[in-house]
C-alpha cells in the first residue's frame, strides 16, 4: 500500500540510523589541515554541505546578541532572513551565497588562527551538544524548521524594544545544534523561540495599549 510513497514516520529519521557525523570542531580542524593557500566562504559552505544552513544562522545571530544601537537589527537581521528563506525554499541542500560574499577569501594562515581560537570554545560546548535524536534527515523536515527560523528571523529584524535579543538567542541555539546534528538541542531552541515570539507579541501589545491610552 505504501510502495513509492514516503510515510509520515519516514520523514523524520533517527540519528541512530546512520553513523554520527563529525563535530563542527573536527570539520574545521580537518579543513585547516588540508586547505589551499586561500579559503573562500563558498568553499566553507560546500564543506559544511546541508549543515551550512544551521552554521550560517548561528554566525549571523552572533552580532545580534551584543548590545546594539536602535535600528541596527534592520541591517543585521537581513542575513538571517536570507539564510532562513533559503533553508525553507531552496531546492539545494546547502546555502547558496551571492558571488561577492561567496568569493570572499582569507589566507590559510588566517583561517588556521581563527580555528585555533574557536576550537577550545567549540570543544567545550560539544560536550553538551552531541549528535542525537536527529529528525531532520529529509528536505521537507528541514523546510519546516526553515519556516520556523524565518519567523524568528523576521522578529529579530523588526525594531521591537527588548524584543530582538531573545529570538536571536533562540535562533542561535537552533542554528548551532542543527550544525551539530543535535535534534534535542533543535527542539530546545524551538521552545525558546516560542517563548521569544510570545515575549515580542506581549511587548508590541503593551506598547499598543499604552499608545492608545496616551492618544
pTM of the model: 0.79
Q: Output the pLDDT for position 62.
A: 84
Tally of domains in the chain: 1
State phi, psi for 38 to the nearest 5 degrees.
-130, 145
Cell of 34: 588540508
What pLDDT is stored for residue 151 in this prediction? 95
Q: Does 198 fall in a domain?
A: yes
Using CA atoms, how far apart are residues 184 and 135, in angstroms rounded to an integer?
9
What are the counts of helices (DSSP H) followed by strands (DSSP E) for the chain?
Answer: 9, 2
Residue 7 lies in a domain: no
Q: What pLDDT is recorded for position 15? A: 44
As to burial, measured by CB atoms within 10 angstroms (0-12 exposed, 13-18 middle, 19+ buried), residue 210 is exposed
12 found inside a domain: no
Query: What confidence score (pLDDT) does residue 195 get?
Result: 95
CB atoms within 10 A of CB 186: 24
Residue whose C-alpha is closest to residue 157's, from 55, 85, 89, 50? 85
Residue 121 maps to a domain: yes
pLDDT score at 7: 40
Residue-by-residue pLDDT tens, the chain, 215 positions: 444 444 444 444 444 455 566 788 888 888 887 777 888 888 888 888 778 899 899 988 888 887 777 677 778 888 899 999 999 998 877 888 888 888 888 888 888 888 888 888 888 888 888 888 888 888 888 899 999 999 999 999 988 877 788 999 999 999 999 998 899 999 999 999 999 999 988 888 888 888 888 86
Does 5 fall in a domain?
A: no
**Rounded distance, CA 96 to CA 114, Å?**
23
Asked if the structure places residue 2 within a domain, the reply is no
39 inside domain: yes
3 in any annotated domain:
no
Which of 177, 212, 166 is closest to 54 using CA atoms? 177
* Domain encompassing residue 159: 19-214
Q: Measure CA of the first residue to CA of the last residue in the chain; give whole Å.
A: 64
- Residues facing residue 105 across a β-bridge: 40
- The Cα–Cα gap between 155 and 83 comes to 15
What are the pLDDT digits (tens) for 178-195?
Answer: 998 899 999 999 999 999
Amino acid at each position: 500500500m505504501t510502495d513509492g510513497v514516503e510515510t509520515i514516520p519516514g520523514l523524520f529519521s533517527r540519528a541512530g540510523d546512520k553513523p554520527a557525523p563529525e563535530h563542527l570542531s573536527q570539520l574545521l580542524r580537518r579543513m585547516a589541515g588540508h586547505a589551499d593557500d586561500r579559503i573562500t566562504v563558498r568553499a566553507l559552505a560546500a564543506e559544511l554541505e546541508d549543515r551550512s544552513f544551521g552554521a550560517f544562522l548561528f554566525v549571523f545571530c552572533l552580532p545580534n546578541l551584543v548590545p546594539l544601537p536602535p535600528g541596527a537589527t534592520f541591517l543585521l537581521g537581513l542575513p538571517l532572513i536570507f539564510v532562513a528563506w533559503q533553508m525553507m525554499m531552496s531546492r539545494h541542500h546547502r546555502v547558496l551565497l551571492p558571488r561577492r560574499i561567496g568569493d570572499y577569501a582569507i589566507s590559510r594562515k588566517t583561517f588556521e588562527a581563527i580555528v585555533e581560537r574557536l576550537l577550545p570554545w567549540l570543544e567545550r560546548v560539544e560536550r553538551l551538544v552531541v549528535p542525537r535524536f536527529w529528525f531532520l534527515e529529509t528536505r521537507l523536515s528541514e523546510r519546516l524548521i526553515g519556516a520556523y527560523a524565518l519567523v524568528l528571523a523576521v522578529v529579530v529584524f523588526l525594531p521591537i524594544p527588548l524584543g530582538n535579543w531573545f529570538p536571536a538567542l533562540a535562533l542561535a541555539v537552533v542554528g548551532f545544534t542543527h550544525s551539530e546534528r543535535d535534534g534535542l538541542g533543535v527542539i530546545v531552541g524551538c521552545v525558546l523561540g516560542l517563548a521569544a515570539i510570545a515575549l515580542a507579541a506581549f511587548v508590541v501589545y503593551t506598547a499598543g495599549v499604552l499608545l492608545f491610552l496616551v492618544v
